[in-house]
Amino acid sequence: MLLIERRLDARSTAEMTVDDLALLGTTLNSSETIKKYEFDNRPKRGGTIFGLVPMFLLYILMECRKTTYRGIVKNLSDHDCVCLGLTDRKGRPKRPSAATLNGFVNKKLVKISDIIGKETVSAVLRTSSKLIITIDSTPAEASRYNFDADFNPYYNVRMDKCHIIMVNGFPMFMVQSRGNDGDNPYAETLIRMLSGCDLGGKEIEIHLDGAYDAFLTFAVAYMVTGVIMRCNIRSYAVYSGVDDEKLRDEYAGMWKKKGFDPHRKNDVDFMLRFLFRNGKEELAGQYIRDRSMELDKKEERTTARFVCETMHRSMKRWIDFSIFRIRRATKLVRMRCRFLCVQLLSTLFREYLDTS
């Protein structure tokens, strides 16, 4: 997938124009996933079908304008159709029905949304030499009459939660949960999703807030990224007392385990990974957390985490990132598609954290 070189300033409350959105056509047309899907699902002789890219752009426009399937089709102008590529063989505007667009989102796009998302993630990672990883959650507000959604006393609304991991302000992966679920239980899942990404040869930092101060989170972050996670650890926190000597003692006591190497008792990284694989995740996390606290004393705490709140606000300006007026049966599907829209819009607007 090729990312466009021309970037737009992040808009505030201005409506997304079709001309601006059409810039994403270059990125989508270069997607190998989309090309393969269209080839595998080409119409039979005499069949008429709308291209996947024009329909995808129409769906993104619908989410940007915060309207319905029927509303976006009804208000499409001839200029909109031409810009989006919704034309016949003679170049004349051709509008899909609301039912066609609905079926595209819930039956076609959902099948390849995760693959397109991963392809976009890979393209973004290729353009950055330094990766600053952040995790945070944001509310997906529901109607006050939606009794399937939890009432969260902190936000004072009924809601679901969207847990999102970002790199340099780009939303990589999302997990949706109940509105009163804690943040930290989803950190491990999100961090492990990075395992399938190419992070080699890049400078990496990972910054989380105090809600993720847990031994297992420190351990998993290190195993996946190879760096010590920085966290807003409370000022009165105490050390666990796991130093290099304690680590070596624990390692030496597991000499019967497969993979034990008596010549690597001074290789901290090897010992940490060995202990983690053999049921000592908490011990490894305690050691890493102590090292993180030492770094906090030596270095000034970074403000890199501001990008989470900034990006969450921007996401909700770009599209309606809530679960209002969404049927329970299609809620997860629709939010997955909306998250994909956010990922693609993030490649369209200028980055908040330039680390290239």
Q: How many CB atoms lie within 10 A of CB 269?
A: 10
Output the CA angle 78-84-89, nearest 5 degrees: 75
The whole-chain average pLDDT of the chain stands at 89
At 214, the pLDDT band (50, 70, 90 cuts) reads very high
- What integer pLDDT is reported at residue 34 of this predicted model? 92
Whether 204 has a pLDDT exceeding 90, the answer reads yes
Confidence of residue 300 (pLDDT cuts 50, 70, 90): low
- What the block records as the tokens of 220 is 């998993």
The tokens of 210 are what?
């105090």
- DSSP-assigned letters across all residues of 131-142: EEEEEEEEEEE-
**Do β-strands 157-167 and 170-178 pair in parallel, antiparallel, or remain unpaired?**
antiparallel
In the predicted structure, residue 176 carries a pLDDT above the cut 70 = yes
Q: For residues 321-329, give the mean pLDDT.
A: 88
Token digits of residue 347: 């490649």
Strands 157-167, 150-152: parallel, antiparallel or unpaired by DSSP?
antiparallel
Q: Are 56 and 45 in contact (CB under 8 A)?
A: no
Q: Which residue, 98, 99, 169, 177, is CA-closest to 133? A: 169
Tokens coding 145? 């009459």
Mean pLDDT across 114-123:
93
* C-alpha dihedral, 91 to 92 to 93 to 95, nearest 10°: -100
